[in-house]
């Protein structure tokens, strides 16, 4: 798999008829038609190693494919991971096609389906990384399909759960 194209993720006022939940901006990432592909956006974070953290965010998937929940082997996914360099990343939250497809409804836009805004709350312990300067919180979409697979994010919050 090649490196993600930096133009696969956008911060926008709206996407088709989807607007941000808080009225400001939203982030969307997408995969292209037919070829296996991947897009990511991340930010450096520096929670103290071992600190308990809570990650909250709103997420949505939109697709313009003829979604069939009976289809097997659809490799599309949407996830969040903590990536402490140089250690391997830890997946904190994951949604595969089988998780997303039952949530899809007609969006009212041409041939588009949507999950609508969903809320995720993830608790985790910050990794024991050699350097907290090298930790990244990374949101990713990947897979391939007959048409677009769009992951949208809004209202991302990362807060400590304890006073350590």
Of the candidates 56, 57, 43, 27, which has an alpha carbon nearest to the alpha carbon of residue 150?
27
CA 61, 7, 80 angle in degrees (round to 5)?
45
Domain span at 16: 8-160
What's the rounded mean pLDDT across residues 51-60? 92
- Higher pLDDT among residues 47 and 16, named by residue: 47
Residue 56 within any structural domain of the chain: yes
pLDDT in tens, 100-126: 888 988 888 777 888 999 999 999 998
Number of domains in the chain: 1
Residue 1 inside a domain? The answer is no
pLDDT score at 3: 41
Of the pLDDT bands very low, low, confident and very high (cuts 50, 70, 90), residue 34 is low
Does pLDDT of 164 surpass 70?
no
CATH number, position 152: 2.60.120.200
φ/ψ (deg, to 5) at 151: -105, 130
Single pTM value for the model: 0.80
Q: Has residue 3 been placed in a domain?
A: no
Token pair of 48 as six digits: 């103290």
Tokens representing 28 are: 């969307």
Regarding predicted confidence, which is higher, 48 or 12? 48
Position 17 confidence tier, pLDDT thresholds 50, 70, 90: low
- Does residue 153 lie within any of the structural domains? yes
């Amino acid at each position: 798999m090649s490196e993600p194209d930096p133009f696969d993720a956008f911060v926008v006022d709206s996407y088709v008829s989807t607007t941000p939940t808080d009225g400001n901006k939203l982030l969307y990432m997408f995969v292209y038609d037919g070829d296996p592909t991947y897009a990511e956006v991340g930010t450096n974070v520096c929670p103290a190693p071992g600190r308990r953290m809570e990650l909250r965010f709103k997420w949505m998937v939109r697709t313009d494919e003829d979604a069939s929940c009976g289809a097997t082997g659809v490799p599309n996914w949407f996830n969040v991971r903590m990536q402490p360099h140089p250690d391997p990343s830890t997946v904190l939250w994951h949604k595969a096609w089988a998780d997303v497809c039952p949530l899809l409804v007609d969006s009212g836009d041409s041939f588009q389906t949507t999950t609508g805004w969903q809320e995720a709350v993830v608790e985790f312990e910050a990794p024991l990384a050699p350097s907290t300067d090298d930790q990244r919180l990374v949101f990713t979409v990947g897979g391939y399909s007959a048409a677009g697979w769009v992951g949208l994010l809004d209202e991302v919050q990362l807060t400590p759960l304890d006073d350590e």
